[in-house]
Amino acid sequence: MVNRMRAGIVGVGFMGTVHARAIRRAGGVVVRAVGSTPESSRNAAERLRPEVFTETVEELLSADDIDVVHICAPNATHARLARAAIAAGKHVVCEKPLAVNPYEAEELVQLAVDAGVTATVPFVYRFYPTVREARARVADGTAGPVRLLHGSYLQDWLAEDSDDNWRVDSAVGGPSRAFADIGVHWCDLVEFVSGHRIVRVAAQTMIAVPARGGRRVETEDAAVVLFETDGGAVGNVTVSQVTPGRKNRLWFSVDGAKESLTFDQENPETLWIGGREINRQLLRGTSESLVAARYTAVPAGHPQGYQDCFDAFVADAYAAVDGVEPDGLPTFADGLRAAQLTAAVLEAAQKQTWVEVASC
């Protein structure tokens, strides 16, 4: 970076902490951090160690010492906060979902373009070197034409009837939970690797626990989605936040005519390459392509993980602020894409029919 990026963080829970680490590792500085109340802002000052104590969002957004705003607050606030940050002339890193409906997401894409600011959404699983290797093998034809896309994203943090979280409340988390929270990550990753776009979906959603925290649950615990792509492939994905034993198992297989490529986020150091006679496991940091090697931070045998991906994403986002155009940087347009997919899945589940996905 030409200058140290001066960052402000809105939302100081788990994700705020992840962003703070990534900001510093990208060479930036956490100048301000605010929570939903003055008390949470004071707690943030102790945990995130911003340079300037700040009590309110308004104070952070109007500050002259902030270049980029990282939005890590609850989902329903994202569009409002992103809109305000853009109006203040700040660059934006907004947690997904960018907005809880496609109309607001589309508005934010245009506002960012009109303002000339860098605006990104952390679809950070793109930044695993093994994912980049899989993408390179599809792009250069090694895998052959893609025929089938399949997999799952499974978690268990809501598996017990007594489990609860703000995300369960649709007024705060939005009309979709499991798919909007993790299903869009899977779809983003598979579209990114395959080069295909999902154009048509059929879906079934499920509420496994009808009441949590004394309130009726209105958002899905799980979803099963069938889809077709613009490249002639078909696929399916199972998404769940109620699968015991699965902490964060994002697993996909991109099956080409010559080889299939399988990635497992809980074991990201290897890419499984399936062949007709021989199956192989490519080790991260060994013989991968130059594209993948760019995101290899440490030698093979020294595991890289989720935080490393986040660090790489923020570094690329800040490079974009400086005028660089990093390949594969997820922007507000990708946030809009996620909102359109979510809307299509909800509609397909509600109508019990195939639904066309809106195009960005």
Q: Give dist(CA 114, CA 238) in Å, integer.
A: 38
- The secondary structure of 174-241 as a DSSP string is -S-SHIIIIIHHHHHHHHHHH---EEEEEEEEE-SSSEETTEE--S-SEEEEEEEETTS-EEEEEEES
Dihedral sign of CA atoms 162, 213, 341, 114 in order: negative
Task: Give the residue among 60, 2, 96, 84 at the shortest CA–CA distance from 331.
Answer: 96
The pLDDT assigned to 299 comes to 82
Query: Which helix H or strand E contains 7, and what residues bound it?
Result: strand 6-10
The pLDDT assigned to 101 comes to 95
Quote the Cα angle for 329-332-338, to 5°.
95
Distances (CA, A) of 8 to 41, 150, 262, 310: 12, 38, 37, 17
Quote the Cα angle for 354-356-358, to 5°.
155
**Distance of alpha carbon 281 from the chain centroid:** 26
Query: Which helix H or strand E contains 121, and what residues bound it?
Result: none
DSSP SS3 for 264: strand
The pLDDT assigned to 287 comes to 67
| Length, in residues, of the chain | 360
pTM for the whole structure = 0.95
pLDDT truncated to tens, each residue of the chain (360 aa)?
446 899 999 999 899 999 999 999 999 999 999 998 888 888 888 889 999 999 899 999 999 999 999 999 999 999 999 999 999 999 999 999 999 999 999 999 999 999 999 999 999 999 999 999 999 999 999 999 999 999 999 999 999 999 999 999 999 999 999 999 999 999 999 999 999 999 999 999 999 999 999 999 999 999 999 999 999 999 999 999 999 999 999 999 999 999 999 999 999 999 999 999 999 999 998 866 777 888 888 888 888 899 999 999 999 999 999 999 999 999 999 999 999 999 999 999 999 999 999 986
CB–CB of 102/336 below 8 Å?
yes
CB–CB of 143/357 below 8 Å?
no
| Beta-bridge mates of residue 7 | 30, 68
